[in-house]
Structure 1
């Protein structure tokens, strides 16, 4: 991701709550544009095979589509197609936010637009919990996206970085407070 081009003003980006149809689209986007370890717990260097495809579906069903889900997940749609996912999981130090995007959607403003939409999502904003993101120090794209959104970062352990995202978009940009697409 190039923070310089990540403006977050893309009107074609929308968040749609995850359902079974969206999960099938997410799997297609993941297989076409991400390594398994980028989108779910998987060994580094693993390629997509039937076991990992089945594991991807089971992972998301167990975490976001279960009767008592551990997290809320939205499909990030860009140009009308699944481009990745964003999730929120309640935690002791705030609501943890995670995002992954297919390679073709990185560095185009999709991530910034998606996280701005997430911040404006009523159920997220109403919780009042701070938003927290964790990444590795070497993930320059994620760190750039977090900086663009005004996150305060602090080094963690073992090469990690923890970021606290403001829950209000203070830049007044066109994406501030705007909801796009179904379910937002």
Structure 2
């Protein structure tokens, strides 16, 4: 960061990250190489994220104000471990553009999430990552495994939104996944009928 708090991005480091990602290498490995080479953990995170096409505003949000403190918890030689930790946090998740149908599915999945009446942090984090990366089928299957909170959730709205989302999901070519979606959607319909 410069004296005014703005992030100064090393364009040469971003170019190196792009070159390494094109080899292809995964973001964790690219981060580890750049951080070990430069000793600049924050700059390496920014370089990898920008090389992946993640907008600067999203990178700043993901890293937050405590990024330097967090990155300082890892010692030289632990670049891969730090990269894996950043990956778990979703730092390297590339936002996926959704078409109109996918955007409708996402809106329904968000409606279902809100109808839960609260959700554990692990599930919330997983859902957020799936929403960002456009993994809508995976988000649907995850939501179908949780239940609305008895006092705060709205079971009818939850199951109704999940049924509508599941009905709009494209049928994957993978027969096993298609069968899982069909079975889960049938279970959601049963629960929606029970809740209404």
TM-score of the superposition, structure 1-length normalised? 0.29
The structure whose Rg is larger is 2
Larger proportion of strand: 1
Task: Identify, as 1 or 2, the structure richer in helix.
Answer: 2
Structure showing greater relative contact order (alpha-carbon pairs closer than 8 Å, 6 or more residues apart): 1
TM-score when normalising by structure 2: 0.27
